[in-house]
Amino acid sequence: MRRALILALALGLWPLVAVGQDRAQSLADIRQELAILFVEMQRLRAELNTTGGAMGTGGDGTVLARVDAIEGELRRLTSATETMQIRVDRVVSDGTNRIGDLEFRLCELTPDCRIADLPPQPPLGGEAAQPDAGTAPPSDGGGANLAVAEQNDFDRARAAFEAADYAQAAQLLDAFTQTYPGGPLSAEAHFLRGQAEGQQSAWNRAARAYLDSFTADASGPRAAAALLNLGTSLAELGQSDEACLTLSEVLSRYPADPVTADAQAARGRLGCR
Q: What is the CATH number of the domain that holds 181?
A: 1.25.40.10
- Domain check: are 79 and 177 in the same one? no
Q: Does a structural domain hold residue 132?
A: no
3 state DSSP class of 1: coil
**Measured between alpha carbons, how far is residue 222 from residues 51, 211, 236 in Å?**
63, 11, 21
Number of domains in the chain: 2
**Tens of each residue's pLDDT in the chain, 273 residues:** 444 444 444 444 344 334 344 444 556 666 666 666 666 666 666 666 655 544 444 445 566 676 667 767 777 777 677 677 777 766 766 677 677 767 767 776 776 776 556 666 666 655 544 434 443 444 444 445 557 888 999 999 999 999 999 999 999 999 999 888 888 899 999 999 999 999 999 999 999 999 999 988 888 999 999 999 999 999 999 989 999 999 999 999 999 999 999 999 999 999 998
Q: Does a structural domain hold residue 97?
A: no
Of the three residues 72, 90, 108, the one that is the final residue of a domain is 90
Of the three residues 42, 59, 90, the one that is the final residue of a domain is 90
User: Which one, of 26, 32, 53, lies nearest residue 128 by Cα?
Assistant: 26
199: left (phi over 0), alpha (psi -120 to 50) or beta: alpha
Of the three residues 90, 111, 127, the one that is the final residue of a domain is 90
- Domain check: are 164 and 79 in the same one? no
Question: Looking at this protein, which amino acid is placed at residue 168?
Answer: Q
Question: How far, in Å, CA of 70 to CA of 9, rounded?
Answer: 8
Q: Does a structural domain hold residue 248?
A: yes
Q: Does a structural domain hold residue 116?
A: no
Q: Does a structural domain hold residue 100?
A: no
**Measured between alpha carbons, how far is residue 64 from residues 7, 69, 75, 177, 268 in Å?**
11, 9, 17, 62, 64
The domain containing residue 261 runs over which residues?
157-270
Number of other CB atoms surrounding residue 237 within 10 Å: 17
**Measured between alpha carbons, how far is residue 18 from residues 27, 135, 161, 223 in Å?**
17, 39, 53, 36
